[in-house]
Amino acid sequence: MRYASITDRLADLGSGKWAVHIKAREMAARGLQVIELTIGEPDVPPDSALLAEANRAMHAGRTRYSNGRGESAVVKALTDKYAKRRAGVTERNILCFPGTQTALFAVMLGLVEAGDDVLVGDPYYATYEGVIAATGAGIVPVPLRPEHAFHLQTDDLEKAVTPQSRVLLLNTPHNPTGAVLSNEEIEAIGEVCKAHDLWIVCDEVYEELIFGKPFASPFDRPDLADRTIAVSSISKSHAAPGFRSGWAAGPVDFCDRLLAVSETMLFGVQPFIADMTAMAVSGSFDTSTGMRERYGRRAKEACDALNKFPHLNPVMPEAGMFMLIDVSATGLNGQQFATKLLDEKLVAVMPGTSFGDQAQNFIRVSLTVSDETLQEATTRMIELAGELASTREGRKWATK
């Protein structure tokens, strides 16, 4: 039978990236005690008031069809949220989606197609390649360099721009590096985008999980208002990824046009989930405060432990649920180290190659397990690095 080319474009993007994770799950199913640090899911449930609200709304009959833009209470809550960040935001700047992922998919579909290019900092969140490929557009990676703490540099962006470039897909706070862009950096990036008439799609799903510095976004800058679309959700901020509740905030014109795209694929977000999201966005809950404290502390402790040994070089994240570790001093790249770590020490991490070319020498470790589990995993990583180093030293000795 014949299939549309989208199925070919997306076919090979999934399995390779997740090979270590899939193998770890198979090993666990065989009864092996694998420490899984591959994916990051909040380590707490949503606040019980939010669960009660979803339950209340469901029982109150909020189980009917919604509309394409979103239920009025959640659209109002999101309007208030974004109006605090930039004056003049109205309901017409908001569209609701089932999660950031769907928002990204729809937004990209509304902005690019075959023949266009999308610029993305490399390393990048694993699904970006698919979201771009689905539209038929090309992905143009812009290197995010460890020597700049993985912060996007404007000269790298300038060099990467092609005549076909239409969009910069920005992610701050960033997964997998944990980098948080400053307002000055965003201003400079914005100038490049203005010069080349680029849209900025900014994935801000980790907005609430920054460890110290302030959050900054192109959405908040009036000079970028006509070219910026922010996407986010309650998945991380309110520990509610399974509710699949997110949104896009962008120019009125864009939202009006995308509404038709959204209505073609969705009948909006479920009303009872919309009610719960309205409560989440407008209320104040301490879920993210706790996650911020725990993930920041765990990252710091793991960095301190790893830094005592010469062969593993962690990057202290500025935000988020993950930490990158440079393993190149062991003589292996991230893929080889991750495979050995799983086979020999029963610890599953993501190889940096799952996130693009720039992170080849890195592994990504999730911070969403208990302190003790992360400490045990860190000890096993140090053991493996030590064994690799002594084998290498031994080999060098033998060949002298």
Ligand X SMILES: Cc1ncc(COP(=O)(O)O)c(C=O)c1O
Residue 341 pairs in a beta bridge with none
Minimum CB–partner distance for residue 61 and ligand X (Å): 27
Closer by beta carbon to ligand X, 217 or else 233: 233
Closer by beta carbon to ligand X, 96 or else 325: 96
User: Is residue 100 part of the contact set for ligand X (CB under 6 A)?
Assistant: yes
Distances (CA, A) of 13 to 7, 130, 330, 353: 11, 7, 28, 12
| One of 190, 218, 241, 334 touching ligand X (CB under 6 A) | 241
Closer by beta carbon to ligand X, 232 or else 353: 232
Closer by beta carbon to ligand X, 97 or else 199: 97
Short-list 34, 211, 3, 199, CA closest to 112: 199
Minimum CB–partner distance for residue 385 and ligand X (Å): 27
By CB neighbour count within 10 A (0-12 exposed, 13-18 middle, 19+ buried), where does 300 fall? middle
| One of 171, 270, 354, 368 touching ligand X (CB under 6 A) | 171
User: Is residue 203 part of the contact set for ligand X (CB under 6 A)?
Assistant: yes
The pair of three-digit structure tokens given for residue 61, joined into one six-digit string: 């009959």
| One of 82, 105, 125, 337 touching ligand X (CB under 6 A) | 125
Closer by beta carbon to ligand X, 241 or else 250: 241
Minimum CB–partner distance for residue 147 and ligand X (Å): 23
Minimum CB–partner distance for residue 232 and ligand X (Å): 7
User: Is residue 205 part of the contact set for ligand X (CB under 6 A)?
Assistant: yes
Rounded Cα distance, 318 and 163, in Å: 34
Q: What is the DSSP letter of 319?
A: B
| Contacts to ligand X from residues 246-305, by CB under 6 A | 246
Three-state DSSP at 296 gives helix
User: Is residue 217 part of the contact set for ligand X (CB under 6 A)?
Assistant: no
- Binding segment for ligand X (CB under 6 A), chosen from 45-53, 54-62, 95-103, 268-276, is 95-103
Q: Which amino acid is at 362?
A: F
Closer by beta carbon to ligand X, 38 or else 233: 233
- Whether the Cβ atoms of residue 44 and residue 257 lie closer than 8 Å to each other: no
Can you tell me which residue has the tokens 């905030």? 249
- Binding segment for ligand X (CB under 6 A), chosen from 80-88, 96-104, 277-285, 344-352, is 96-104
User: Is residue 175 part of the contact set for ligand X (CB under 6 A)?
Assistant: yes
Minimum CB–partner distance for residue 111 and ligand X (Å): 17
| One of 101, 262, 353, 354 touching ligand X (CB under 6 A) | 101
- Binding segment for ligand X (CB under 6 A), chosen from 80-88, 97-105, 159-167, 279-287, is 97-105
Closer by beta carbon to ligand X, 205 or else 359: 205
CB-based contacts of 21: which residues, under 8 Å, 6+ apart?
Answer: 36, 38, 39, 348, 350
- Whether the Cβ atoms of residue 205 and residue 235 lie closer than 8 Å to each other: yes
| Contacts to ligand X from residues 36-75, by CB under 6 A | none
CB-based contacts of 74: which residues, under 8 Å, 6+ apart?
Answer: 96, 247, 269, 274, 275, 277, 278, 281
The pair of three-digit structure tokens given for residue 277, joined into one six-digit string: 């999201």
Residues comprising the chain, all counted: 400
The pair of three-digit structure tokens given for residue 269, joined into one six-digit string: 């977000």
Distances (CA, A) of 93 to 23, 88, 115, 167, 262: 43, 10, 28, 19, 14
Rounded Cα distance, 24 and 363, in Å: 15
Closer by beta carbon to ligand X, 175 or else 361: 175
Minimum CB–partner distance for residue 389 and ligand X (Å): 33
The pair of three-digit structure tokens given for residue 39, joined into one six-digit string: 């994916």
What number of chain residues touch ligand X (CB under 6 A)?
12
| One of 79, 165, 172, 235 touching ligand X (CB under 6 A) | 235
Binding site for ligand X (CB under 6 A): 99-101, 125, 171, 175, 203, 205, 233, 235, 241, 246
